[in-house]
Protein backbone atom coordinates (compact mmCIF):
# COMPACT_ATOMS: atom_id res chain seq x y z
CA UNK A 1 0.00 0.00 0.00
CA UNK A 2 0.96 3.60 -0.38
CA UNK A 3 0.17 4.54 3.23
CA UNK A 4 3.81 4.79 4.10
CA UNK A 5 4.56 7.38 1.46
CA UNK A 6 4.96 10.64 3.38
CA UNK A 7 2.43 13.23 2.24
CA UNK A 8 3.49 16.84 2.70
CA UNK A 9 1.20 19.72 3.56
CA UNK A 10 2.06 21.24 0.19
CA UNK A 11 0.66 18.13 -1.46
CA UNK A 12 -2.58 18.44 0.47
CA UNK A 13 -2.98 22.01 -0.80
CA UNK A 14 -2.06 20.91 -4.31
CA UNK A 15 -4.68 18.16 -4.05
CA UNK A 16 -7.41 20.66 -3.14
CA UNK A 17 -6.30 23.13 -5.82
CA UNK A 18 -6.01 20.59 -8.62
CA UNK A 19 -2.25 21.02 -8.86
CA UNK A 20 -1.26 17.54 -7.75
CA UNK A 21 0.57 15.43 -10.34
CA UNK A 22 -1.85 12.63 -11.31
CA UNK A 23 0.56 9.92 -10.16
CA UNK A 24 0.37 11.22 -6.56
CA UNK A 25 -3.38 11.31 -6.41
CA UNK A 26 -3.87 7.76 -5.24
CA UNK A 27 -1.25 8.11 -2.53
CA UNK A 28 -2.85 11.31 -1.20
CA UNK A 29 -6.32 9.80 -1.16
CA UNK A 30 -5.04 6.75 0.67
CA UNK A 31 -3.34 9.01 3.18
CA UNK A 32 -6.51 10.99 3.74
CA UNK A 33 -8.62 7.93 4.42
CA UNK A 34 -6.06 6.86 7.02
CA UNK A 35 -5.64 10.30 8.60
CA UNK A 36 -8.99 11.83 9.58
CA UNK A 37 -7.37 15.03 10.84
CA UNK A 38 -5.85 15.81 7.45
CA UNK A 39 -9.06 14.74 5.75
CA UNK A 40 -11.00 17.25 7.84
CA UNK A 41 -8.52 20.00 6.95
CA UNK A 42 -8.89 19.25 3.27
CA UNK A 43 -12.67 19.48 3.65
CA UNK A 44 -12.37 22.79 5.47
CA UNK A 45 -10.18 24.21 2.74
CA UNK A 46 -12.73 23.19 0.14
CA UNK A 47 -15.51 24.74 2.21
CA UNK A 48 -13.47 27.94 2.38
CA UNK A 49 -13.28 28.11 -1.41
CA UNK A 50 -17.02 27.52 -1.66
CA UNK A 51 -17.66 30.31 0.84
CA UNK A 52 -15.52 32.68 -1.19
CA UNK A 53 -17.46 31.80 -4.32
CA UNK A 54 -20.81 32.19 -2.54
CA UNK A 55 -19.74 35.60 -1.27
CA UNK A 56 -18.14 37.05 -4.37
CA UNK A 57 -19.40 35.25 -7.48
CA UNK A 58 -22.38 37.58 -7.74
CA UNK A 59 -19.94 40.31 -8.81
CA UNK A 60 -19.36 38.34 -12.02
CA UNK A 61 -23.05 38.63 -12.90
CA UNK A 62 -23.35 42.34 -12.13
CA UNK A 63 -23.57 44.55 -15.20
CA UNK A 64 -20.15 46.14 -15.81
CA UNK A 65 -20.34 49.84 -14.84
CA UNK A 66 -20.11 52.28 -17.75
CA UNK A 67 -16.90 53.76 -16.43
CA UNK A 68 -15.17 50.45 -17.07
CA UNK A 69 -16.15 50.35 -20.73
CA UNK A 70 -13.00 50.04 -22.82
CA UNK A 71 -14.26 52.41 -25.50
CA UNK A 72 -14.71 55.04 -22.88
CA UNK A 73 -11.34 54.43 -21.25
CA UNK A 74 -9.72 54.39 -24.65
CA UNK A 75 -10.55 57.97 -25.53
CA UNK A 76 -7.37 59.25 -23.98
CA UNK A 77 -4.39 59.39 -26.35
CA UNK A 78 -2.31 56.26 -26.60
CA UNK A 79 0.49 57.43 -28.86
CA UNK A 80 3.23 56.70 -26.39
CA UNK A 81 2.59 53.00 -26.69
CA UNK A 82 3.94 53.23 -30.22
CA UNK A 83 7.27 54.58 -29.04
CA UNK A 84 7.88 51.48 -26.97
CA UNK A 85 9.37 49.41 -29.75
CA UNK A 86 11.61 52.16 -31.15
CA UNK A 87 15.29 52.35 -30.33
CA UNK A 88 15.28 49.35 -28.02
CA UNK A 89 18.23 47.74 -29.68
CA UNK A 90 20.15 51.00 -30.02
CA UNK A 91 19.70 51.76 -26.33
CA UNK A 92 20.98 48.31 -25.48
CA UNK A 93 24.14 48.75 -27.50
CA UNK A 94 24.83 52.20 -26.09
CA UNK A 95 24.14 50.92 -22.58
CA UNK A 96 26.80 48.26 -22.90
CA UNK A 97 29.59 50.68 -23.61
CA UNK A 98 30.41 53.29 -21.03
CA UNK A 99 31.68 52.64 -17.54
CA UNK A 100 30.34 54.92 -14.88
CA UNK A 101 32.10 53.98 -11.66
CA UNK A 102 35.25 55.55 -10.26
CA UNK A 103 34.43 59.03 -11.36
CA UNK A 104 35.90 61.46 -8.88
CA UNK A 105 34.79 62.43 -5.42
CA UNK A 106 34.31 59.69 -2.85
CA UNK A 107 32.47 61.42 -0.02
CA UNK A 108 28.90 62.52 -0.39
CA UNK A 109 28.23 66.23 0.13
CA UNK A 110 25.21 67.52 2.09
CA UNK A 111 23.68 68.79 -1.14
CA UNK A 112 24.04 65.39 -2.78
CA UNK A 113 22.53 63.68 0.27
CA UNK A 114 19.66 66.15 0.35
CA UNK A 115 19.13 65.64 -3.37
CA UNK A 116 18.74 61.91 -2.91
CA UNK A 117 16.35 62.46 -0.01
CA UNK A 118 14.25 64.94 -2.00
CA UNK A 119 14.21 62.59 -4.97
CA UNK A 120 13.00 59.66 -2.85
CA UNK A 121 10.30 61.84 -1.29
CA UNK A 122 9.15 62.94 -4.74
CA UNK A 123 9.21 59.33 -5.90
CA UNK A 124 7.07 58.17 -2.98
CA UNK A 125 4.67 61.05 -3.42
CA UNK A 126 4.03 60.68 -7.13
CA UNK A 127 4.34 57.00 -8.04
CA UNK A 128 1.18 56.15 -6.14
CA UNK A 129 -0.84 58.64 -8.17
CA UNK A 130 -2.56 56.79 -10.96
CA UNK A 131 -4.36 59.54 -12.83
CA UNK A 132 -2.23 62.64 -12.23
CA UNK A 133 1.29 61.41 -11.61
CA UNK A 134 2.78 64.09 -13.87
CA UNK A 135 2.14 67.67 -14.90
CA UNK A 136 2.93 67.15 -18.56
CA UNK A 137 2.34 63.81 -20.23
CA UNK A 138 4.61 61.90 -22.55
CA UNK A 139 2.60 62.85 -25.61
CA UNK A 140 4.05 66.36 -25.19
CA UNK A 141 7.59 65.10 -24.76
CA UNK A 142 9.28 67.84 -26.80
CA UNK A 143 7.41 70.58 -24.98
CA UNK A 144 8.15 68.95 -21.62
CA UNK A 145 11.88 68.78 -22.35
CA UNK A 146 12.03 72.38 -23.60
CA UNK A 147 10.12 73.69 -20.62
CA UNK A 148 12.28 71.84 -18.09
CA UNK A 149 15.43 72.96 -19.95
CA UNK A 150 14.30 76.58 -19.76
CA UNK A 151 13.42 76.38 -16.10
CA UNK A 152 16.37 74.28 -14.88
CA UNK A 153 19.13 75.93 -16.92
CA UNK A 154 20.74 72.80 -18.35
CA UNK A 155 19.87 70.59 -21.26
CA UNK A 156 17.08 68.32 -19.98
CA UNK A 157 16.27 65.19 -21.97
CA UNK A 158 13.92 62.38 -21.04
CA UNK A 159 16.04 59.27 -21.69
CA UNK A 160 14.76 56.31 -23.70
CA UNK A 161 14.40 53.39 -21.30
CA UNK A 162 12.62 50.94 -23.60
CA UNK A 163 15.56 48.57 -23.22
CA UNK A 164 14.36 48.07 -19.64
CA UNK A 165 10.70 47.85 -20.70
CA UNK A 166 10.04 51.32 -19.34
CA UNK A 167 7.93 53.92 -21.08
CA UNK A 168 7.82 57.60 -20.27
CA UNK A 169 4.66 58.62 -18.41
CA UNK A 170 5.60 62.30 -18.32
CA UNK A 171 7.30 64.79 -16.07
CA UNK A 172 7.07 67.80 -13.83
CA UNK A 173 9.11 70.62 -12.33
CA UNK A 174 10.00 70.33 -8.64
CA UNK A 175 12.01 72.25 -6.07
CA UNK A 176 15.53 70.88 -5.47
CA UNK A 177 18.09 71.56 -2.72
CA UNK A 178 19.65 74.53 -4.54
CA UNK A 179 17.19 75.35 -7.31
CA UNK A 180 14.69 73.77 -9.68
CA UNK A 181 14.66 70.03 -10.36
CA UNK A 182 13.40 68.04 -13.33
CA UNK A 183 11.37 64.93 -12.63
CA UNK A 184 10.45 62.18 -15.11
CA UNK A 185 8.32 59.14 -14.47
CA UNK A 186 8.47 55.85 -16.35
CA UNK A 187 6.48 52.67 -16.02
CA UNK A 188 6.65 49.11 -17.28
CA UNK A 189 3.90 46.85 -18.58
CA UNK A 190 3.05 45.54 -15.14
CA UNK A 191 2.74 48.97 -13.55
CA UNK A 192 6.09 49.29 -11.78
CA UNK A 193 7.27 52.87 -11.78
CA UNK A 194 10.72 54.42 -11.90
CA UNK A 195 11.50 58.12 -11.60
CA UNK A 196 14.47 60.26 -12.59
CA UNK A 197 15.12 63.36 -10.56
CA UNK A 198 17.83 65.85 -11.53
CA UNK A 199 18.96 69.08 -9.90
CA UNK A 200 22.04 71.30 -9.69
CA UNK A 201 24.70 69.71 -7.45
CA UNK A 202 27.68 71.27 -5.69
CA UNK A 203 30.29 69.06 -7.31
CA UNK A 204 31.22 68.31 -10.90
CA UNK A 205 31.17 64.53 -10.80
CA UNK A 206 30.73 61.74 -8.28
CA UNK A 207 30.56 57.99 -8.01
CA UNK A 208 27.30 56.20 -8.44
CA UNK A 209 25.72 55.42 -5.08
CA UNK A 210 22.90 53.24 -3.92
CA UNK A 211 20.44 54.14 -1.18
CA UNK A 212 17.24 52.48 0.00
CA UNK A 213 14.45 53.76 2.18
CA UNK A 214 11.43 51.66 3.10
CA UNK A 215 10.29 50.06 -0.12
CA UNK A 216 12.13 52.37 -2.51
CA UNK A 217 15.65 52.22 -3.80
CA UNK A 218 17.72 54.91 -5.51
CA UNK A 219 20.90 55.14 -7.56
CA UNK A 220 22.44 58.60 -7.56
CA UNK A 221 25.42 60.30 -9.13
CA UNK A 222 26.64 63.69 -10.27
CA UNK A 223 27.75 64.46 -13.78
CA UNK A 224 28.77 67.83 -15.21
CA UNK A 225 27.45 69.59 -12.12
CA UNK A 226 24.01 68.00 -12.26
CA UNK A 227 22.91 65.44 -9.66
CA UNK A 228 20.79 62.55 -10.89
CA UNK A 229 18.69 60.18 -8.83
CA UNK A 230 17.00 57.14 -10.36
CA UNK A 231 14.41 55.77 -7.92
CA UNK A 232 12.30 52.63 -8.13
CA UNK A 233 11.42 49.42 -6.35
CA UNK A 234 14.22 47.98 -4.19
CA UNK A 235 16.00 45.86 -6.78
CA UNK A 236 19.59 46.93 -6.96
CA UNK A 237 20.37 45.11 -10.17
CA UNK A 238 17.41 46.51 -12.06
CA UNK A 239 18.05 50.01 -10.69
CA UNK A 240 21.66 49.77 -11.80
CA UNK A 241 20.62 48.80 -15.30
CA UNK A 242 18.15 51.68 -15.51
CA UNK A 243 20.65 54.13 -14.01
CA UNK A 244 23.24 53.01 -16.53
CA UNK A 245 20.90 53.72 -19.41
CA UNK A 246 20.16 57.16 -17.99
CA UNK A 247 23.85 57.86 -17.44
CA UNK A 248 24.86 56.81 -20.93
CA UNK A 249 22.22 59.01 -22.52
CA UNK A 250 22.99 62.07 -20.40
CA UNK A 251 26.64 61.58 -21.40
CA UNK A 252 25.60 61.70 -25.03
CA UNK A 253 23.35 64.70 -24.71
CA UNK A 254 26.17 67.06 -23.70
CA UNK A 255 24.38 68.52 -20.75
CA UNK A 256 25.58 72.07 -20.25
CA UNK A 257 23.73 74.95 -21.82
CA UNK B 1 -6.60 43.31 -34.35
CA UNK B 2 -9.43 43.36 -31.87
CA UNK B 3 -8.30 40.23 -30.08
CA UNK B 4 -6.25 42.13 -27.49
CA UNK B 5 -9.22 44.32 -26.56
CA UNK B 6 -11.57 41.36 -26.60
CA UNK B 7 -9.34 39.40 -24.27
CA UNK B 8 -9.10 42.33 -21.89
CA UNK B 9 -12.84 42.87 -22.03
CA UNK B 10 -13.74 39.28 -21.19
CA UNK B 11 -11.58 39.52 -18.09
CA UNK B 12 -13.39 42.53 -16.60
CA UNK B 13 -15.98 40.58 -14.55
CA UNK B 14 -13.32 38.34 -12.99
CA UNK B 15 -11.07 41.31 -12.25
CA UNK B 16 -13.98 43.04 -10.54
CA UNK B 17 -14.64 39.96 -8.40
CA UNK B 18 -10.99 39.70 -7.39
CA UNK B 19 -10.71 43.42 -6.63
CA UNK B 20 -13.94 43.34 -4.62
CA UNK B 21 -12.70 40.47 -2.47
CA UNK B 22 -9.25 42.02 -2.15
CA UNK B 23 -10.46 45.44 -1.01
CA UNK B 24 -13.91 44.53 0.35
CA UNK B 25 -15.12 47.89 -0.96
CA UNK B 26 -17.13 48.06 -4.20
CA UNK B 27 -16.10 51.59 -5.25
CA UNK B 28 -12.48 51.14 -4.41
CA UNK B 29 -12.50 47.82 -6.24
CA UNK B 30 -13.87 49.38 -9.43
CA UNK B 31 -11.33 52.21 -9.16
CA UNK B 32 -8.62 49.58 -9.12
CA UNK B 33 -10.13 47.76 -12.09
CA UNK B 34 -10.48 51.01 -14.01
CA UNK B 35 -6.84 51.92 -13.41
CA UNK B 36 -5.83 48.38 -14.38
CA UNK B 37 -7.73 48.65 -17.66
CA UNK B 38 -6.27 52.07 -18.45
CA UNK B 39 -2.78 50.70 -17.95
CA UNK B 40 -3.50 47.57 -19.93
CA UNK B 41 -4.79 49.58 -22.90
CA UNK B 42 -1.82 51.90 -22.75
CA UNK B 43 0.59 48.97 -22.59
CA UNK B 44 -0.93 47.05 -25.48
CA UNK B 45 2.27 47.26 -27.53
CA UNK B 46 4.30 46.00 -24.60
CA UNK B 47 2.18 42.91 -24.17
CA UNK B 48 4.07 40.40 -26.28
CA UNK B 49 1.65 37.50 -26.03
CA UNK B 50 1.63 35.13 -23.09
CA UNK B 51 -0.98 34.81 -20.42
CA UNK B 52 -3.26 37.84 -20.61
CA UNK B 53 -5.08 36.77 -17.49
CA UNK B 54 -1.97 36.59 -15.31
CA UNK B 55 -0.75 39.88 -16.78
CA UNK B 56 -3.93 41.73 -15.83
CA UNK B 57 -3.87 40.30 -12.29
CA UNK B 58 -0.25 41.42 -12.05
CA UNK B 59 -1.13 45.00 -12.97
CA UNK B 60 -4.00 45.02 -10.50
CA UNK B 61 -1.81 43.58 -7.74
CA UNK B 62 0.91 46.22 -8.33
CA UNK B 63 -1.63 49.03 -8.37
CA UNK B 64 -3.13 47.81 -5.13
CA UNK B 65 0.31 47.67 -3.55
CA UNK B 66 0.96 51.28 -4.63
CA UNK B 67 -2.42 52.33 -3.28
CA UNK B 68 -1.84 50.66 0.06
CA UNK B 69 1.55 52.27 0.34
CA UNK B 70 -0.01 55.69 -0.08
CA UNK B 71 -2.41 54.82 2.73
CA UNK B 72 0.33 53.51 4.97
CA UNK B 73 0.75 56.75 6.87
CA UNK B 74 -2.95 57.31 7.39
CA UNK B 75 -4.81 56.03 10.43
CA UNK B 76 -6.40 52.61 10.02
CA UNK B 77 -10.17 52.74 10.03
CA UNK B 78 -11.96 49.66 11.18
CA UNK B 79 -15.64 49.00 11.01
CA UNK B 80 -17.70 48.55 14.12
CA UNK B 81 -20.29 45.83 13.93
CA UNK B 82 -23.03 47.26 16.08
CA UNK B 83 -25.85 45.86 13.97
CA UNK B 84 -27.75 42.80 15.21
CA UNK B 85 -26.07 39.47 14.64
CA UNK B 86 -27.14 38.22 11.24
CA UNK B 87 -27.99 34.60 10.57
CA UNK B 88 -27.41 31.87 7.99
CA UNK B 89 -25.56 32.60 4.80
CA UNK B 90 -25.28 36.26 5.58
CA UNK B 91 -23.43 35.53 8.78
CA UNK B 92 -21.24 33.05 6.96
CA UNK B 93 -20.30 35.53 4.28
CA UNK B 94 -19.59 38.14 6.91
CA UNK B 95 -17.32 35.65 8.65
CA UNK B 96 -15.33 34.92 5.52
CA UNK B 97 -15.13 38.66 4.81
CA UNK B 98 -13.92 39.31 8.32
CA UNK B 99 -11.40 36.49 8.02
CA UNK B 100 -10.09 37.96 4.76
CA UNK B 101 -9.78 41.37 6.36
CA UNK B 102 -7.59 39.90 9.09
CA UNK B 103 -5.08 38.43 6.65
CA UNK B 104 -1.85 40.17 5.68
CA UNK B 105 -2.10 41.55 2.15
CA UNK B 106 0.11 38.97 0.42
CA UNK B 107 -1.67 36.04 2.05
CA UNK B 108 -5.09 37.43 1.14
CA UNK B 109 -3.99 37.88 -2.47
CA UNK B 110 -2.62 34.33 -2.70
CA UNK B 111 -5.73 32.77 -1.20
CA UNK B 112 -8.03 34.74 -3.51
CA UNK B 113 -5.98 34.14 -6.64
CA UNK B 114 -5.88 30.39 -5.98
CA UNK B 115 -9.20 29.61 -4.31
CA UNK B 116 -11.46 32.21 -5.95
CA UNK B 117 -9.83 33.03 -9.27
CA UNK B 118 -8.45 29.53 -9.90
CA UNK B 119 -4.97 30.61 -10.96
CA UNK B 120 -2.10 28.13 -10.89
CA UNK B 121 0.60 28.30 -8.23
CA UNK B 122 3.04 29.14 -11.02
CA UNK B 123 0.95 32.12 -12.16
CA UNK B 124 0.58 33.39 -8.61
CA UNK B 125 4.34 33.18 -8.12
CA UNK B 126 4.83 35.27 -11.27
CA UNK B 127 2.13 37.75 -10.26
CA UNK B 128 3.67 38.34 -6.85
CA UNK B 129 7.23 38.08 -8.12
CA UNK B 130 8.17 35.46 -5.52
CA UNK B 131 9.33 31.80 -5.64
CA UNK B 132 6.73 29.00 -5.64
CA UNK B 133 7.77 28.02 -2.12
CA UNK B 134 6.74 31.45 -0.88
CA UNK B 135 3.36 31.08 -2.56
CA UNK B 136 2.88 27.71 -0.86
CA UNK B 137 3.76 29.03 2.58
CA UNK B 138 1.51 32.08 2.14
CA UNK B 139 -1.33 29.84 1.04
CA UNK B 140 -0.84 27.50 4.00
CA UNK B 141 -0.73 30.37 6.48
CA UNK B 142 -3.76 32.04 4.91
CA UNK B 143 -5.83 28.86 5.15
CA UNK B 144 -4.74 28.20 8.73
CA UNK B 145 -5.56 31.78 9.70
CA UNK B 146 -8.98 31.79 8.03
CA UNK B 147 -9.78 28.44 9.62
CA UNK B 148 -9.00 29.75 13.09
CA UNK B 149 -11.23 32.77 12.55
CA UNK B 150 -14.11 30.77 11.12
CA UNK B 151 -13.86 28.46 14.11
CA UNK B 152 -14.43 31.39 16.39
CA UNK B 153 -11.01 32.42 17.56
CA UNK B 154 -11.47 36.11 17.35
CA UNK B 155 -8.31 38.07 16.62
CA UNK B 156 -7.06 39.22 19.99
CA UNK B 157 -6.88 42.92 19.18
CA UNK B 158 -10.41 43.27 17.91
CA UNK B 159 -13.62 43.53 19.82
CA UNK B 160 -12.18 45.39 22.73
CA UNK B 161 -15.30 46.76 24.30
Q: Which residues of A touch B12 (CB under 8 A)?
A: 64, 68
Q: What is the DSSP letter of A109?
A: P
**Phi, psi of B154, rounded to the nearest 5 degrees:** -70, 140
Give pLDDT, residue A22.
Answer: 93
Gap from A153 CA to chain B (nearest CA, Å)? 32
- The nearest CA of chain A is from the CA of B99 a distance in Å of 10
Cα end-to-end span (Å), chain A = 82
Assign B159 a pLDDT band (cuts: 50, 70, 90). Answer: very low
The total of other beta-carbon atoms located within 10 Å of residue B140's CB is 17
Map out the domains of chain B with their CATH numbers. Answer: 1-77 (1.10.1740.10), 78-161 (1.10.10.10)
Residue A59's pLDDT is: 95
Q: Does A233 touch chain B (CB under 8 A)?
A: no
Across the range B85-90, mean pLDDT stands at: 52
Of A231 and B76, which is predicted with more confidence? Answer: A231
CB B60 within 8 A of CB B15: yes
Residue ranges of domains in chain A, CATH in brackets: 9-61 (no CATH), 83-253 (3.30.200.100)
SS3 call for A236: helix
Q: B120 at the A interface (CB within 8 A)?
A: yes
Q: Is B103 on the interface with A (CB under 8 A)?
A: no
pLDDT top residue among A1 and B67 = B67
Can you give the pLDDT of all 257 residues of chain A as single tens digits? 444 568 999 999 999 999 999 999 999 999 999 999 999 999 999 999 999 999 999 999 999 998 898 888 775 433 333 333 333 322 333 333 233 322 333 345 667 778 888 898 899 889 888 778 898 999 999 999 999 999 998 889 999 999 999 999 999 999 888 889 999 999 999 889 999 999 998 877 777 888 888 788 899 888 888 999 999 998 888 898 899 889 888 766 544 44
What is the pLDDT confidence band of residue B87, given thresholds at 50, 70 and 90?
very low
pLDDT at A90: 28
Q: From the CA of A16, how many Å to the nearest CA of chain B?
A: 9
| For chain B, percent of residues with pLDDT exceeding 90 | 47
Residue A55 contacts B where some CB pair is shorter than 8 Å: yes
Q: How confident is the model at residue B43 (pLDDT cuts 50, 70, 90)?
A: confident
Q: Which residue of A has its CA nearest to B143?
A: A45
A202 vs B152: CA distance, rounded Å = 62
ipTM of the complex: 0.83
**List of residues 6+ apart from A7 with CB closer than 8 A:** A27, A28, A31, A38
pLDDT digits (tens, 9 = 90+) for B131-151: 999 999 999 999 999 999 888
Amino acid sequence: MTHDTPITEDELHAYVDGELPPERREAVEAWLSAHPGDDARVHQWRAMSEMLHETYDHVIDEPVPARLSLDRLDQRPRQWAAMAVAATLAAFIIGGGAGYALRGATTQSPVAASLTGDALEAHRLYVVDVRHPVEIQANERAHLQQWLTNRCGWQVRAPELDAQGLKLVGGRLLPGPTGPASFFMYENASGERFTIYASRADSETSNMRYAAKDQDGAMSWTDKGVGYVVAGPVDKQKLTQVARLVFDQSEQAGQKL
Amino acid sequence: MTSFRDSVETMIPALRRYARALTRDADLADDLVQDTLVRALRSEKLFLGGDMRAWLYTILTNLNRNRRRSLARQPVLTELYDTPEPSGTEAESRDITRALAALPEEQRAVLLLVALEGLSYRDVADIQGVPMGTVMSRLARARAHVKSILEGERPALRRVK
